[in-house]
Amino acid sequence: MQNQQSSRSQYWLRLSLIHKRSPAFWLALLGHFELTIEQLFSLPTAELSQCGLKPDEIALINSPGDEIERIETWLCQHPLNQVIAFSDAAYPERLKQLDSPPLALFCCGRVDRLKAPQVAIVGSRKATINGLNTARRIANELGDAGITVTSGLALGIDGAAHQGAYPTCGNTVAILGGGLGRIYPRSHQALATNLIEFGGCIVSEFPPWETVKPYHFPRRNRLIAALSSGVLLIEARIKSGSMITANLAADMGIDVFATPGNINNPLSEGPHYLIQQGARLITCSGDICEELGWVVKDPGDAGNNQQEDGDEPLLREFAGEPIDIDYLVEKTGLSVNRLLPRLVELEVKGRIMAVPGGYIRAIRPVGD
């Protein structure tokens, strides 16, 4: 929904802003009284009261208040800011299968990502180095295959998944637990910006000014699960939000995957439990694609080889001593925003390594 919103879209948006009622309530009310959204908003006060609505709710239906103006202001703040209402063509059909689907989605970026084939990658905020590297690698492989990686922009596995995916033409979607005007955590503001610039999308069912609250995360997690054809868990404790996401996916009939880990690491408990319960053990993106029946391009095709050759000019800047970002910006002429995704991609490929003081070129096995 662009700045000039249709009446129908505006009505759904206005309902979404009546926070005391869930989306399920409004959908049930419309169904019970056999009303269209337009008819609901045309009812006189007496009939709205007969529908069981309270005076403050009726007042919000009759007058949208200043929240709509605040949203209009937000829409003008970035050319890719937009609202997708429940009735809009861009609204993902997968979300309509939820018991209480969002009546409006606040987005920034390429909203067509929401209807693309998606795999969610979730896990611990306090992941190990191995877990973070695994998330980046698998996300990068999925993105290279044209599959959108969906996660929650949190610290740890979520952030690593977005880092691995966004250099692949922005094949990633971040679902937030607060408003888009209040990126959380703040340390991921730059990641969110890069994600959008490279063609990804950030999404929330909460209005832009809404701060993150603990009870928002289960609502966010249900969207991550519902949008995805499969959910991959990488490192999580048994009692964690990531396990909730995986269990939500299983309840929805969505495939659940897990990576194995060190049996002495508490963060392996969640994935190992899921595997014991029937989740597919995976070690690479190919395992996921095979299980989902997706045919993807061969990683060794000519296009990929050309990309590998294109890495050489940047790789020549690396030697045995650590090279920092400032040096690379000066030598390559690339901006930090353009350079960082290249470094992430090279690290995922195993061609450079992050060390104290910067990066060094990794030693590649003979024949690689």
Give the per-residue pLDDT at 218. Answer: 94
Task: Look at the domain 111-292 and name its fold.
Answer: Rossmann fold (3.40.50)
Distances (CA, A) of 106 to 29, 110, 127, 248, 305: 24, 12, 29, 23, 38
DSSP 8-state assignment for residue 175: E
pLDDT tens digits, 207-216: 999 999 999 9
Instruction: Name the residue ranges covered by the structural domains of the chain.
Output: 7-109, 111-292, 302-361
Give the per-residue pLDDT at 179. Answer: 97
Give the per-residue pLDDT at 332. Answer: 81
Domain 302-361 - what CATH class? mainly alpha
Sign of CA dihedral 2, 158, 200, 188: positive
CA angle 304, 168, 231 (to 5 degrees): 110
Give dist(CA 105, CA 16) in Å, integer. 9
Taking each helix axis from N to C end, the angle separating 7-16 and 23-32, rounded to the nearest 10 degrees, works out to 120
> Tokens representing 283?
């070690």
Exposure b/e, 88-123, CB count within 10 A at least 16 = b: beebbebbeebeebbbbbbbbbbbebbebbbbbbbb
Give the per-residue pLDDT at 361. Answer: 73
Question: Do residues 272 and 243 touch, judged by C-beta distance below 8 A?
Answer: no
Give the per-residue pLDDT at 327. Answer: 81
Give the per-residue pLDDT at 310. Answer: 63
Cβ neighbours of 259 (radius 10 Å): 24
111-292 and 302-361 in the same fold: no
pLDDT tens digits, 168-183: 988 999 999 999 999 9
Give the per-residue pLDDT at 355. Answer: 73
The ranges of the chain with pLDDT < 70 are 1-5, 296-310, 319-321, 362-368
Give the per-residue pLDDT at 326. Answer: 80
